[in-house]
Amino acid sequence: MSDQTLPPDGPEEDEDRVLAAEYALGLLTDEERARFEERLDTDAALRAEVVAWDEHFAAVILDDVAEVPPSPQLAKRLQTILFKPEKQSFWQQIWPYGLGGLAAALVLWLSISTGILVPEDSRLKPDLVAELAPTPDGEGLVIRATVDTTLAAVEVVRAAGTPPDGRVFELWLIAGDAAPVSLGLLEDGSSTLIDLPQDLLAVLPGALLAISDEPPGGSPTGAPTGAVRAAGPLTSS
């Protein structure tokens, strides 16, 4: 078929067909495309024309384009992006520990009162204690916090586990429905002593302590940004 057999300007229907093809190929200018898409919203025949072109072009692509396997890392990246449960909210992550903490406190109280577990020698005379149970993201962590309300201080002892490379652990207090309050960062050593603000002392019993991992220097937002690694409620010792 030579060019001469086609009229330079076809009837309106032909014009739409060519426009649909140009749209499918991404050949329209931004302005032309916007106008065309406006018409697509209301014109089913035009939509069908675009689908028909896409089907034809895809048929050639299916036939002519060679398969090339992407690198195996891409599949792994997608698993992380799509399926890693880090999209859970802070609250979703910690709520089981609020409940489980009561049982843990009971076990702890039994251990201490029966002499199985003697509290480590501490600078504090603790009246509140929290066993921070590891979350699935915190496997291997053994963290215990003791509070001396008279001195207004909390000592966090990390018996096992370290933050991921390039991250630090941050300690949070969650009292009732209030937003988490940062109490400070855990030091590299096994024990960290942190002063508590006076105004928090009253809400401590029953409040939840939680550890999240954060960038060096701590959460940039004032709220936990990394995964919660361990959590547990403060109970009377």
To another protein, the closest distance from the beta carbon of 89 in angstroms equals 19
User: Does residue 33 bind another protein (CB under 8 A)?
Assistant: no
**With b meaning 16 or more CB within 10 Å and e meaning fewer, what string describes 45-56?**
ebeebbeebeee
Q: Which of 45, 65, 99, 118 binds another protein (CB under 8 A)?
A: 65
Window of 72-80, 109-117, 177-185, 197-205 that interacts with another protein by CB under 8 A: 72-80
Q: Return the number of the residue (65 or 118) whose C-beta is nearest another protein.
A: 65
* Residues contacting residue 135 through CB under 8 Å, at least 6 positions apart: 93, 94, 97, 227, 228, 229, 230, 231
Residue at token pair 């509290």 = 119
- Number of chain residues interacting with another protein (CB under 8 A): 42
User: Does residue 45 bind another protein (CB under 8 A)?
Assistant: no
Q: Return the number of the residue (78 or 179) whose C-beta is nearest another protein.
A: 78
Residue 133 and residue 140: Cα distance in Å, rounded?
10
Helix axes 12-25, 30-42, angle to 10 degrees: 110
Kind plus residue range of the DSSP H or E element containing 181: strand 181-185
User: Does residue 34 bind another protein (CB under 8 A)?
Assistant: no
User: Does residue 84 bind another protein (CB under 8 A)?
Assistant: no
Strand 235-236 to 228-233 pairing: unpaired
Residue 15 and residue 35: Cα distance in Å, rounded?
14
Residue 56 and residue 105: Cα distance in Å, rounded?
67
User: Does residue 69 bind another protein (CB under 8 A)?
Assistant: yes
Q: Return the number of the residue (70 or 220) whose C-beta is nearest another protein.
A: 70
Distance of CA 219 to the CA centre of its chain: 14
Residue 181 and residue 202: Cα distance in Å, rounded?
14
Window of 23-31, 95-103, 163-171, 176-184 that interacts with another protein by CB under 8 A: 23-31
Window of 52-60, 115-123, 139-147, 221-229 that interacts with another protein by CB under 8 A: 52-60
Distance of CA 122 to the CA centre of its chain: 36
Tell me the two tokens of residue 196: 């508590």
Q: Which of 12, 31, 45, 66 binds another protein (CB under 8 A)?
A: 66
User: Does residue 54 bind another protein (CB under 8 A)?
Assistant: yes
User: Does residue 61 bind another protein (CB under 8 A)?
Assistant: yes
Q: Under the rule (CB under 8 A), what is the footprint of another protein? A: 1-3, 6, 10, 14, 17-18, 21-22, 25-27, 47-48, 51-52, 54-71, 74-75, 77-78, 81-83
